[in-house]
Structure 1
């Protein structure tokens, strides 16, 4: 059985011969709401500075010209943007104006993690937010990227910044003062479906992060699909979730596909102003919501936990909030009910998507005031879904199995990784690795088939941590699983089989065990970004359960960990 959107068929698939900035900055699609002239595109959170369309377009052209003149960035070159949210998305649009490819990187990465991304994509240029320059320099040295190919993004777009490196604002000024050095290419009909826009990193179903190849058309079409799903131009909808002049919080990171597509581009396309917040601090976030009268919140469950439980919330009137969408990880029904008390006038729902599907698969529709409890939203127009049993047969409505989706917004596969592409992209369908039930076009995520751990919405591949743990001299074998956590959703826990000499030391001195656990946690913390660290602790066991072919039976330990966690919570209530 196949499942489709109850919002109706997608009537307009949009142009397939435009790049993202051409579609976004040069073209007025018929479904695009008209933004009032006094409504800024972006607002700099720290200063309150409004930024209008004309400024963004001019800065985009200036930066593109500078990148062309100084580094000869051309078609299919790759440029890495290593930065938190910033009011210059012109970095993205300028790179695309030249026909080049953007690979967004998490600014919390260690140098080794950034090296993996730079090497995988063969990035020719690195744009880095000033506070993260030391990490960028260390990574660049390791991959042989010369220092003169590092550009510093200043914390504030219009403030002077002293650096021995070229700065973003300096390049924009330079490029704007020079004659055009490039001619932007118009794509051929259908070419946007294969012309690559992003190498966005995802762990897929297993293993180290992989570069997902996303073409321009997938990106722009997913915006149009979501527009249709929310009925932005449906005259029968008297009260819409989004209206030009509303204000959205851009607190989710733009380097993550959810923040990049849904928050940055879909909100701007819909005529909203974006308050750009580089770093999430909860009390500062509350101040921003109040100061800018933010109406739309796109969040992940840990942020919603804070909204429901942090004592500072009672000091703020959030009655002006119109919409809250949670994504990246499931939101419990009890947390949703608590959130209703905090934002009494808001529509509340969930969304679900993947980097491999260029984001949205499902979301609360424009006709719903409240999402169905436990649902990740309704399938958006233009997508087709199947629920498949382990034997490959199709499930009926209400039956549980793995979710597969297809549609014109799917990514093209993984960069230079034929095996991973073959496993996840099957005959035009994307295997999500999530076990679901579909009822009335609503997707209910039941469990995760794939091994990925979701920490605060970020993906953590157990195999990556296991490989690093095995490099420790005391470790003979390792298995990492996710355990439930009220704030983070899941946190990594390591099950470790020790080498004989380590066991002998612990036998002679039991306190060595706790010291070794601390050392193993530090071993990971020294090499990995914060959300990959072993917040769930370290457990020593005699053997890792495996099948006859040697594959780790991860679910055995995961189920064991969840049972222990449930027992602990039950005992705590006694």
Structure 2
């Protein structure tokens, strides 16, 4: 894989900004520990961070339709629920609270109540079926489940089964009209928070577990990723560092940067949502929410709330750009579009620049459930110059590129991306073998193939997703990026199919843009003009419907692989 030479001007500006923000005594200074770098200052536990948001008072924090929660109202509701969890439901620090609902303000109230009470929050995928939810609930054994109408219905079978074998966990419903039953309460009927109510007096330590977040499960059963209070406090600071660095590198005065209003489309059960929320909470910004993604509705929300930012997976960002282009909307209030959760097409940053004539800044990040969200980022001019790069790591993160034996590789060599630092998780819930396999000492093995060049990181593929064609490594992400650069292509997925002599051949599944037409041979020629011959897809299959994706926006290739195996010649 080749990468362009860095621009000295943008590189120098970014280096100055990073140095100023992470120097000794600066807000993002770090200290070295035997387990990797960590921030020298900042909150010790998430309760400390939430307490700091009380200073924003009546500034709007969460907005959904006609619902509005100020920072003061959000804190009061979370504190009241924390007291109720301990005093009425009988929960004790360390107990699990499962949260199963769509993006409602009550989701955030439930999450932060767990942190105030010393409990462990377990966000569950709102797209899961009753069986999938039951698997996770059986795995984490919550003492309380907080659910909206759809999820309350799906978990009722599991709750009933638990009641037959012991104390039934409490169920707190949100928006459910049915009357409450035994060990069931409705959020809407809880006593209103007392004015000036503070958090419960419980001891919470940095090494205590804060969350169990289940992996997206593109292959096999999801695993429960356990992260400590300290890890999450590292995640609180990293996205703020990236945003501040982008402003400084662009020559802006940080003292003049005003709180932002961001349309947030990430599902709350995904760590990327917190990468957006933490900077808003720190600065007194506003998160505008959607019950479900709809590009046309998103345009209206941006206009109605004069949103300055959009945050979501690349597929929704592309939907937003397409919808704005169709309607000829300039989205005058918008200043940034941030993507993450899945690889962004290399063409996305430049499309944002062209469509908004340089007024809207493109931002891209890299993160994993196992590192509590975004820990590497590429913003502003650097992102435009290097759209295939994920950027540079946060100060409290150390990066290594290794060969299969774990030896460090030189700049420009492709190997596995290893990470260590404050926000790395402590292990998989009740899966010691999986935990051991994920670590080499303190280093977390991401499973991503990457290269490092002058401090900038380029992810080329998943370790298990690489195609080996006749002994040559083909990085699927690289080929997908080239295919997405063709004007007719809306989505593309590249994977390997068996070949009797070569072992594997490269195959591509493509969905075209509405009204577009292109032949398979033209797409192969498009790739051949940019990549080596062995990387050109031998098979190109067209698909009318969108590619299957998990809630993080990542393509589920196992499903595509099964469909492709039925194709003649594959």
| Structure 1 SS opposite 2:231 | helix
1:185 corresponds to 2:202: yes
- Cα deviation, 1:8-58, whole Å, max 9, x if unaligned, reads 344152568743133222479xxxxx85x67422222x12x4321211121
Over 3 Å counting, the alpha-carbon distance change for 1:346 and 1:63 in structure 2 is same
Q: Are residues 1:50 and 2:63 paired?
A: no
Q: How far is 1:430 from its partner?
A: 0.7
The equivalent position to 2:187 in structure 1, one of 168, 175, 180, is 168
Query: Which position in structure 2 is the counterpart of 1:247?
Result: 261
> Structure 1's 113 and 75: CA in aligned 2 closer, same or farther, altered over 3 A?
same
Task: Indicate the SS of the match to 1:266.
Answer: helix
- 1:21 maps to which residue? 47
| TM-score, structure 1 as length reference | 0.71
Cα distance, 1:394–1:493 mapped onto 2, change above 3 Å: closer
Confirm or deny that 1:41 pairs with 2:58.
Answer: no
Partner of 2:322: 309
CA contact (8 A) 1:243 1:270 kept: no
The corresponding residue for 1:551 is: none
1:497-544 Cα offsets, whole Å, 9 max, x none, are: xxxxxxxxxxxxxxxxxxxxxxxxxxx99xxx9986946663557xxx
- Aligned with residue 368 of structure 2, among 341, 350, 354: 354
Contact in 1 for aligned 2:342/2:554 (Cα 8 Å) = no
In structure 2, distance between residues paired with 1:235 and 1:295: 18
Aligned to 2:460: 446
Task: State the shift of 1:491 in Å.
Answer: 9.5
Alpha-carbon shift at residue 147 of structure 1 (Å): 6.6
State the alpha-carbon separation in 2 of the partners of residues 86 and 280 from structure 1: 13
Cα distance in 2, alignment partners of residues 386 and 536 from structure 1 = 31
What residue ranges of structure 2 are gaps of 5+ in the alignment?
Answer: 1-13, 23-27, 31-38, 467-482, 499-547
- Name the CA shift for 1:135/1:378 in 2 (closer, same or farther; >3 Å): same
Work out whether residues 16 and 217 of structure 1, in 8 Å CA contact, stay in contact via their aligned partners in 2: no
Which residue among 147, 152, 162 is the counterpart of 1:128?
Answer: 147
Give, in whole Å, the separation in 2 of the partners of 1:80 and 1:119. 11
- Provide the aligned C-alpha RMSD in A: 3.8
Query: Shift of the alpha carbon at 1:242?
Result: 9.8
> For 1:558-573, what aligned pairs fall within 5 Å after superposition?
none
> Contact 2:83–2:200 (CA<8 Å) still a contact in 1?
no
Give the conservation status (yes or no) of the 8 Å contact 1:357–1:430.
no
Q: Which residue of 2 aligns with 1:294?
A: 307
- Matching of residues 492-507 of structure 1 within 5 Å: none
Q: Secondary structure at the match of 2:457?
A: strand
Deviation at 1:330, TM superposition (A): 1.7
Tell me which residue corresponds to 1:364: 378
Are positions 1:538 and 2:563 aligned together? Answer: yes
Q: Tell me how far 1:387 sits from its aligned partner.
A: 0.4
- Tell me, yes or no, if the aligned pair for 1:329 and 1:489 is still in contact at 8 Å: no
In the aligned structure 1, how far is the partner of 2:343 from the partner of 2:412?
Answer: 19
TM-score (norm 2): 0.71
Q: CA distance change for structure 1 residues 307 and 440 in 2, over 3 Å: closer, same or farther?
A: farther
Instruction: Give the match's secondary structure for 2:88.
Output: helix
- Aligned-pair CA distance for 1:91: 0.6
* Structure 1: gaps (5+ residues): 29-33, 453-483, 496-523, 542-559, 565-574
Match of 2:449 among 411, 435, 445: 435
Q: Which of the residues 171, 188, 197 maps onto 1:150?
A: 171
The count of residues paired between Structure 1 and Structure 2 equals 461
Residues 1:491 and 1:536: Cα distance change in structure 2 (over 3 Å)? farther
Q: Which residue of 1 aligns with 2:527?
A: none
Report if aligned partners of 2:121, 2:212 keep a CA contact under 8 Å in 1: yes
Structure 2 residue aligned with 1:281: 294
Q: Which has the higher contact order (CA 8 A, sep 6+)?
A: 1
Deviation at 1:372, TM superposition (A): 2.0
Moved more, 346-355 or 143-152: 143-152
User: Which residue of 2 is the match for residue 328 of structure 1?
Assistant: 341
For residues 239 and 230 of structure 1, the distance between their equivalents in structure 2, rounded to whole angstroms, comes to 12
SS of residue paired to 2:153: helix
Residues 214 and 411 of structure 1 are in contact (CA less than 8 Å); yes or no, is this contact kept in structure 2? yes
